[in-house]
């Protein structure tokens, strides 16, 4: 029986008597997530979005929450002491110099069962949750958050105080996906399975959700989530915070506008030159 089949079977069992096989399955899952060999979602060229979700991985993470017991996980070391109470199936990720991750001191939390690639830079405090996949060369500024099962591609910049939301349930839902070379400005928010395609740039303060319409003034299109398909930001799009007027009812009478992201241009040589400047920070 494969690990996926084992986890699906255990996940659907209606029991509170958790034997060793539950803990062994979850441990094996975390080892695969830590190494990057197992992912909650992965590139799939044959799919409409170019990605597919591995629902059994989310089942395994939820299974770990179910079987764990609340425990004092406080610790102390060279970087000081901290107090923590969590389920004993969850802990902080063990890293060393061989991981080639730059994790500056200052209170960051990287959960066990997440993957950080070579050359990732973590400027404290940042938080990376279980199931997340952060590929090579990503830079995360202070107070950045990468949620459960989020997929972040190579050489992405996650600006200060920006959130890449987690999507654990429903288990079949595509998580938030940020492809290679994306620049996310400060105080941005990506939620509800949004997909940002390769090379896009999100200006500071841009908020994207599954229910957010995005107006492309360059191509004259409006992008929305359709059924089970996520909201997709096109490749190389430059997205800024904008607003649109309420056109009916009291909102129109009161001259109310609603925040909405706007694509104002697509990347060009000037944009590429600006982005290259951040190489000095890595």
pLDDT of residue 183: 96
Q: Is 50 exposed, middle or buried (0-12, 13-18, 19+ CB in 10 A)?
A: middle
136 and 34 within one domain: no
pLDDT in tens, 54-71: 999 999 999 999 998 778
114 and 51 within one domain: no
136 and 19 within one domain: no
126 and 37 within one domain: no
Residues listed for the chain: 282
- Domain membership of residue 47 (yes or no) is yes
User: How many whole angstroms separate alpha carbon 110 and alpha carbon 17?
Assistant: 30
164 and 29 within one domain: no
- Domain membership of residue 218 (yes or no) is yes
pTM here? 0.91
| CATH number, residue 236 | 2.160.10.10
User: How many whole angstroms separate alpha carbon 251 and alpha carbon 255?
Assistant: 6
- Domain membership of residue 267 (yes or no) is yes
Tokens 């920070």 belong to which residue? 281
pLDDT in tens, 81-126: 667 777 777 777 877 766 778 777 777 889 999 999 999 999 999 9
- Domain membership of residue 36 (yes or no) is yes
Mean pLDDT, to the nearest integer, of 224-231?
Answer: 88
109 and 180 within one domain: yes
Work out the percent of the chain whose per-residue pLDDT is above 70: 92
- Domain membership of residue 86 (yes or no) is no
- Domain membership of residue 87 (yes or no) is no
Confidence of residue 2 (pLDDT cuts 50, 70, 90): very high
134 and 41 within one domain: no
pLDDT in tens, 189-201: 999 989 999 999 9
- Domain membership of residue 257 (yes or no) is yes
User: How many whole angstroms separate alpha carbon 242 and alpha carbon 264?
Assistant: 10
118 and 208 within one domain: yes
Contact predicate 239/201, CB 8 Å = yes
pLDDT in tens, 236-280: 999 999 999 999 999 899 999 999 999 999 998 776 666 665 565
Mean pLDDT, to the nearest integer, of 72-77?
Answer: 67
Tokens 């107070």 belong to which residue? 143
User: How many whole angstroms separate alpha carbon 88 and alpha carbon 90?
Assistant: 5
| CATH number, residue 41 | 1.10.166.10
193 and 117 within one domain: yes
Alpha-carbon dihedral sign for residues 158, 132, 116, 84: positive
Phi, then psi, of 66 in degrees rounded to 5: -65, -40
Domain that holds residue 56: 3-67
User: How many whole angstroms separate alpha carbon 210 and alpha carbon 230?
Assistant: 7
Instruction: Point out the domain boundary residue: 39, 67, 95.
Output: 67
166 and 112 within one domain: yes
Q: How many domains does the chain have?
A: 2
Instruction: Point out the domain boundary residue: 67, 97, 113.
Output: 67
User: How many whole angstroms separate alpha carbon 153 and alpha carbon 165?
Assistant: 15
188 and 119 within one domain: yes
pLDDT in tens, 195-220: 999 999 999 999 999 888 999 999 99
Q: Nearest 10 degrees: CA dihedral of 123, 64, 147, 52? A: 120
110 and 208 within one domain: yes
In angstroms, what is the C-alpha Rg of the chain?
Answer: 20
């Amino acid at each position: 029986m494969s690990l996926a089949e084992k986890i699906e079977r255990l996940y659907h069992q209606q029991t509170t008597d958790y034997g060793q096989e539950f803990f062994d399955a979850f441990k094996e899952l975390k080892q695969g997530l830590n190494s990057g060999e197992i992912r909650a979602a992965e590139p799939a060229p044959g799919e409409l979005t170019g990605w597919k979700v591995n629902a059994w991985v989310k089942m395994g993470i939820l299974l770990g929450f179910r079987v764990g017991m609340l425990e004092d996980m406080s610790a102390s070391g060279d970087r000081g002491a901290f107090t923590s109470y969590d389920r004993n199936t969850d802990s902080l990720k063990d890293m060393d110099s061989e991981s080639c991750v730059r994790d500056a001191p200052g209170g960051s939390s990287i959960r066990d069962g997440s993957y950080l690639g070579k050359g990732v830079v973590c400027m404290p405090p940042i938080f990376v949750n279980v199931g997340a996949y952060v590929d090579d060369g990503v830079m995360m500024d202070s107070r950045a958050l990468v949620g459960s099962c989020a997929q972040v591609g190579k050489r992405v910049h996650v600006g200060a105080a920006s959130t890449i939301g987690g999507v654990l349930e429903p288990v079949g839902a595509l998580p938030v996906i940020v492809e290679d070379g994306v620049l996310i400005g400060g105080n941005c928010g990506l939620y509800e399975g949004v997909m940002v395609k390769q090379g896009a740039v999100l200006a500071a303060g841009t908020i994207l959700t599954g229910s957010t319409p995005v107006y492309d003034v360059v191509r004259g299109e409006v992008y929305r989530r359709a059924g089970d398909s996520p909201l997709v930001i096109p490749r190389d799009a430059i997205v800024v915070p904008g607003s649109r007027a309420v056109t009916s009812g009291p909102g129109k009478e009161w001259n109310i506008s609603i925040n909405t992201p706007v694509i104002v241009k697509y990347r060009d040589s000037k944009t590429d030159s600006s982005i290259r400047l951040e190489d000095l920070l890595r």
